[in-house]
Amino acid sequence: MDAPRSPRRTVRFLIALAAILAALPLGYFLFLHEPPPAAAPPPAPVVEREAPPPQQRPPEAQRVLKLEEIHGTVEVRRGNGEWHAVRPGESLHPSDAVRTLEGSYAVLVNGETVEVRMEAGTEVSIEALTDTLSRLMLANGMTTTRVKPGTRQTFEVRAAGSDAVARTEGGRFTMSNNGAGTVAVGTQEGEVAFIGQGKVVIVRAGQQSIVRPGRGPSDPTPIPTSLLLKMNWPARPTLTRRQMVVSGQTEPGSHVDVEGRIIPTDEEGRFSQTVPLGEGRNTVRVHARSVGGLRQELKHELNVDTTPPSRVTVDPGMWNDPRPDSQ
């Protein structure tokens, strides 16, 4: 039989048991208890921002046309200002206009991309000059334009008094406008889109087309080998007045001048104008040029004598009848 425990050992046992029981809640909290989830942080305030503006294409760089060559009298008008004479090297900008007077011509250039030759009696205004587009308005007369291919440059010529437009991206073409709705295009190199009254034709090298009032461009035809020029010369070789009516007919859209004076032609190529003459012998030269580059010249010689006839002297004796009076 075991010996009874001593009171001291019993007290120790009880104290140890009490310590273990007291430590159980602390151990559970430290090792077995899961802490409550941390509170979520408050949501960040929503800041409304303005949408960025849509990206806009930067405007195209503006170019200028320069008057590279001038012969005779050439005038420029800035905006709505007055016409004034210019010299080679001056620049032209959109809203400017340039004109060549009789017996004159001018050459306009846009770098190495575009070259425009204006014949005598021609007026153009500049409507647009950018890296990709050049546009002119041909009021009247004749221009020949060369556009360097492969430069991504579109060149347009509009015609005043008509809805006709010639457009190319490379090549050389001539365009005329009589200012009354007759517009012609002839292409020497490349091809040109010729537009009018909702119709579009492609005028290729060696072809020409014409727009008449109220009609679209004609189907392109080959440029003829010669230019028609017929004149109605006076029947008498001597005139008694110091002026003469010069009339005739040529190919529609042609450029006609008489001794340097520009004569407009109608939609059938007819022309008529009074020109001054000098006393004595006169040589009248008529020159025509077509949009196909053809030229023709005719001349006619005549005399002008405005001297009044000599005074007639009447012999008084012619009224004395030697015969006796009748009975």
**What pLDDT was estimated at residue 1?**
47
Residues 80 and 139 in one domain: yes
pLDDT at position 63: 76
**Residue 191 token pair:** 């091809």
pLDDT (tens digit, 9 = 90+) per residue, 164-185? 999 999 999 999 999 999 999 9
Q: Can you name the residues that pair with 176 across neighbouring β-strands? A: 142, 184
pLDDT at 156: 97
Q: How confident is the model over 115-147, as pLDDT tens digits? A: 999 999 999 999 999 989 999 999 999 999 999
- Which is higher by pLDDT, 21 or 280? 280
56 falls within a domain: no
**Whether residue 130 is found in the same domain as residue 154:** yes
Q: Are residues 212 and 276 in the same domain?
A: no
Gyration radius (Cα) of the chain, Å: 48
> Which range marks the domain in which residue 124 is found?
65-222
d(CA 89, CA 53): 43
For the segment 53-70, what is each residue's pLDDT rounded down to a tens digit?
666 655 555 578 999 999
Helices (H) and strands (E) in the chain, counts: 1, 24
pLDDT category of residue 39 using cuts at 50, 70 and 90: low
| Structural domain ending residue among the three candidates 222, 251, 286 | 222
246 falls within a domain: yes
Residue 136 lies in a domain: yes
Q: In this structure, are residues 184 and 147 in contact, taking their beta carbons and an 8 Å threshold?
A: no
In a domain, 117, yes or no: yes
Rounded (5°) CA angle 63-64-67: 155
pLDDT digits (tens, 9 = 90+) for 285-308: 999 999 999 999 999 999 999 988
139 in any annotated domain? yes
Q: Which of 182, 202, 222 is the last residue of a domain?
A: 222
Task: Kindly state whether residues 134 and 197 are assigned to the same domain.
Answer: yes
Q: Tell me: do 206 and 94 sit in the same domain.
A: yes
> Is position 251 within any domain?
yes
Question: Do 93 and 206 belong together in one domain?
Answer: yes
Six token digits for residue 61: 């760089």
Q: Tokens standing for 263?
A: 């004569």
Same domain, 189 and 249: no
What total of structural domains would you count in the chain?
A: 2
> Are both 218 and 70 inside the same structural domain?
yes
The verdict on residue 190 lying in a domain is yes
pLDDT of amino acid 194: 98
Per the DSSP assignment, residues forming a β-bridge with 207 are 187, 222
Name residue, tokens 């120790």. Answer: 12
Domain boundary among 222, 246, 261: 222
Do 114 and 144 fall into the same domain? yes
Residue 169 lies in a domain: yes
DSSP three-state, residue 174: strand
Whether residues 192 and 242 share a domain: the answer is no
> In CATH, what number is assigned to the domain containing residue 284?
2.60.40.10
According to DSSP, the residues that pair with 238 across neighbouring strands are 303
CA distance 275 to 211: 29
Same domain, 151 and 120: yes
Asked if the model's pLDDT at residue 327 lies above 50, the reply is no
Same domain, 180 and 268: no
- Assign residue 88 the CATH number of its domain: 2.60.120.1440
